[in-house]
Structures are given as C-alpha cells and as structure tokens.
Structure 1
Amino acid sequence: MRVPAHAAAVTALAALFALLTWQVAVDGPLLRADTALRDAAARAAPGGGAVSGAAQVCADLGGALVALPVLAFGACLLGVRRRTPVPAVLAALSALAVPALVLPLKEVCARVGPDGAPLGEYAGYYPSGHTATAALAYGTLALLYVRRGPRAAPSSPAPRSRAEYAVAAAVVVNLCVGAGLVLRGYHWATDVVASWALAGLVLYALAALGDRLGARREQAGERAGER
C-alpha cells in the first residue's frame, strides 16, 4: 500500500520533532553535535566581524517585529486581490501558533542557551521562537501565494515557475535566519531544526484548513448563483 506524500512528510516531521525533544529532555548524545556546532560558529563568526554582522541581520529577519508585519501585509494584499478573508484568517492563525505552541514547550523543556547562562526569567531556548516565527510567517506567505483563491481565474495553483520562486524564497530566508541564530550564539542548532519541524506541521494544518475554507466559499458562491 502506497503512503501519500503528505502523510509521509507529516509523519517524518512529527518523528523528527519528537526525537529532538526527547534528546533535549534526557540530554542525549545527539546534543553533542550542538556543542560542536556552537564552537565552530564562534570561530567562524567572531564578534564584531563581517560574518557576525551578516548573521545578526539574518537572525533579525526572524523577529516578530519584522516577520509578522510582512505576513500581515502580504496576507491582506492577497485577501483584497482575491476578495476573500481566507488569507487573513490563515495569517492570524499562523501568528498565534508561535505563542500557543512554542512558549509552553520552552517552559517545559527549560533549556539553557549556548552561552550557558542561567535562564532567570527567560522560559528557555528550546524550541527557537525566532525560527518558528520566521518559518510560519514566510512559509504561510508562500503557501498563500502558491494556493490561489477561489476567485482566481482559473481556480488552480499559481504558475509553476512563480510558485517555485515563492517557495524557494521562503526556504532561503528561513535558512538564513537559522544560520544567523546559530552563528550569533543565540540558539543551539537543535532549537532551530526542531522549530522548522514544528512549523512544517503547522503549515500542513493551515494548508488543509485553507483548502476547506476555500471549498466552502466556492460552494456558497455556487448556491448564491443558483438563486
């Protein structure tokens, strides 16, 4: 029996997130790679250097003050062009997913950061909030662009070349954010990868919800046209 690609991807993302969370919880051997990458990043991007400056710019792209306004503007623009509230709804859910999912996990895991300093009032570093914010904000925008609205003519995915550019841009930006966070010593590499996996699961859920909402709007429009 052949497993659908979407189901396999969701299973893989869930398994990866579960594995990393388990390793963080038990301080497993997989975390040795975190230490090696932290030390390599410190050598590659010493404070005050050009690499460190570029890494900081990349890391800032994952901040809520940058990523969420970009998501809000893009979703509103698509909603107006397509005459549907679906982009705004999905964007709002995407933005709410970070505090709803990431903050409780930070509290439970209470992981110390790469600098080893006590957490104090900070909840913890696992998973990375900046990574999740970037992955969901830019990923949701790519998702909204690729999946055209019910009023698009024809009602079909965006042209393949444009869709590929949108997805590629989201991937590149998120890779830059993750690399910047690790190079600047703000997060362990596993914090970043875990947030990518978690965001991927949320994006699959948003895609399914978007399809359902779009189908309902199409059905409502057809019923209204029959009257």
Structure 2
Amino acid sequence: MHTERGEAADRTLGQVDLTRWRTRAGRAVARGWTALGQRYGAMPLLLLTLAVGLAVAVVATWLASAVFDAVREADDVAVLDRPVLDWAISLRSPAADRLVTWWTDVAGTIGMPVVAVGFLVGFTIQRRAWTPVVLLVAASGGSLLMTIAGKDLIGRARPPLSDAVPPYEHSPSFPSGHTLNATVIVGTIVYLLLLRESRAVTRVWTIVAGTLFVLSVGASRVFLGHHWLTDVLAAWALGLAWLSLVVTAHRLYLTALRHGAEPAPDPAARAR
C-alpha cells in the first residue's frame, strides 16, 4: 500500500532511525504506546499522544508565565528589554521600517496560515497520508492555544506606542505570537521536509533556512517595537518545547507502525 511505504520512508532522518529509543525511559514509553497502537490503531494513538503533549505544553506555558511574573516583579527584565529596544530604535529608517514590517507580516495572522496550508496541500498530495495534516494542524492549534494562554495569564503591556512602528498592536505582549507560531509551524515543516531529504547538504540548508526565518521573525518584533526582547525569548523557548513534543508524538506513531499497528487510511484510496 502506498501509505504504508510512505510511512516507512519517514522512519529515518538521515542515518537516525526514529523508531529506536536510546534511553530506558524512552524504550519503556515506546513499548507501552506500541501495545496501545496494536490494539487501537496508530492514528488514534498519534492523536492521543498529541493531546497529552498539548496538555503538557499548556502547563509549561503556565509555569513559564509564573516564572516570568516573578522575574518581572523583581524588575530584572527591564535590565535586558529597554536597552535592546533603544538599540533597535537607533537602527530604524523609513526603508528599513517598511521592509521589516513586510517581513513580519509573513508570520502574521494571514501570512503564516497561507504558508501552512500551502505545505499541507503539497505534503498530502505527495505522501497520500493524513499524518502531515495531523501534525501541522495539531502544531498550529497548540501554538495558538499557548499564545492565548500566555497572554491571558500575564497581560503584559507592549512597549510604548511612541517607541513602535505603525501599524500598532494592542493585545498583551507576552509571549510573542508571531514568534511562537513561526517557531512551531516552520519547525514542523522543516521536520517533515527532512524526513524525505536523502542528501546531508540538503538537510543542512533546510535547517539553516528554517532557523534563519524563525530568528528573523523574532528579531523583527523587537525591531518594530511590537514586543520586548523577553517576549520573543519566551516564545522561542515555548515553541521549541511544543515542537519537541510534536516530533516525539510522531516518533511514537512510527514506532507503533513498525511493530504492526494499523496505519491511517490513504486519502486517495478513501476518495475512490
């Protein structure tokens, strides 16, 4: 079956077998999840793992918010945030402001969904499997939920409008939603691309391109005065944490498939 062959091709990333777990804890979890996959199917297992991971990510967001709140009360973040914003203001010019505004919009509420949908269509057509759809939708939904939770928990004010480049934004500042969503969505896309890239140099350039995009989006938020530096740093950290959980969920899914769990149906076969 085309879907099964495609899923089998995703089991290695370069020379690394994603279904091999090196730690004792990892092997124990993999055995338990494999047993569940053999009983209930691999795709329900993937959805369950992502749901558990999302719960963990939301708790991590709450903990990060609590830590940040304690640091903010001690006024330690001002030591880092204000000087960096002042330095960013010194670099501005009309041309730079327009260019960076355009670039940050690529990771905004319109640009990022367009990028995600474009890759979703491409992955689904190429691989004839629901797995990329599930991973990208779950990753995107999780990052959005983490952004909302963080903003509601902290309610931090953005930098003064006098220090920002229009158009102005008025939602809470912590964490940076643009940065968090770019980290998770682009990180998931990079991961899915790496699974099918056979040449090491291609994988390196894919990682470099994805990393530069995520770093530049975060930097653009500070440059424009739409976020403090600590908002961006927190978004990078939370995004990487959620991304690692998404990748772990996919590895457990592949492990269950390798040991005989029922895979997800082929979208093309279902259409027929």
Pairing 1:64-213 to 2, within 5 Å after superposition = 64-115=109-160, 123-148=171-196, 158-213=198-253
Deviations 1:92-130 (A, max 9, x none): 01110122111111111110111169xxx9551000111
**Cα offset, 1:159, TM superposition:** 2.7
Partner of 1:225: none
Cα contact 2:65–2:154 (8 A) shared by 1 = no
Greater RCO (CA < 8 Å, at least 6 residues apart): 2
Partner of 2:56: none
- Whole-Å Cα distance in 1 between the matches of residues 227 and 252 of structure 2? 36
Cα contact 1:62–1:134 (8 A) shared by 2 = yes
Consecutive unaligned residues in structure 2, runs of 5 or more: 1-21, 27-59, 163-168, 264-272
Aligned-residue RMSD, C-alpha: 2.9
SS at match of 1:198: helix
Q: Share of identical aligned residues, percent?
A: 24
Partner of 2:108: 63
Partner of 1:30: 77
- Whole-Å Cα distance in 1 between the matches of residues 67 and 235 of structure 2? 10
Consecutive unaligned residues in structure 1, runs of 5 or more: 8-13, 149-156, 223-227
**Cα offset, 1:174, TM superposition:** 1.2
**Cα offset, 1:168, TM superposition:** 0.9
- Whole-Å Cα distance in 2 between the matches of residues 170 and 97 of structure 1? 19
- Whole-Å Cα distance in 2 between the matches of residues 133 and 113 of structure 1? 18
Distance 1:207 1:161, change over 3 A: same
- Whole-Å Cα distance in 2 between the matches of residues 58 and 189 of structure 1? 18
Cα contact 1:139–1:203 (8 A) shared by 2 = yes
Distance 1:160 1:18, change over 3 A: farther
Instruction: Specify the structure having the higher radius of gyration (Cα).
Output: 2
Equivalent AA in structure 1 for residue 182 of structure 2? A
Structure 1 ranges of 4+ moved more than 4 A:
16-20, 22-25
Cα contact 1:57–1:180 (8 A) shared by 2 = no
Equivalent AA in structure 2 for residue 59 of structure 1? T
Q: TM-score, normalised by structure 2?
A: 0.65
**Cα offset, 1:194, TM superposition:** 0.6
Partner of 1:40: 87
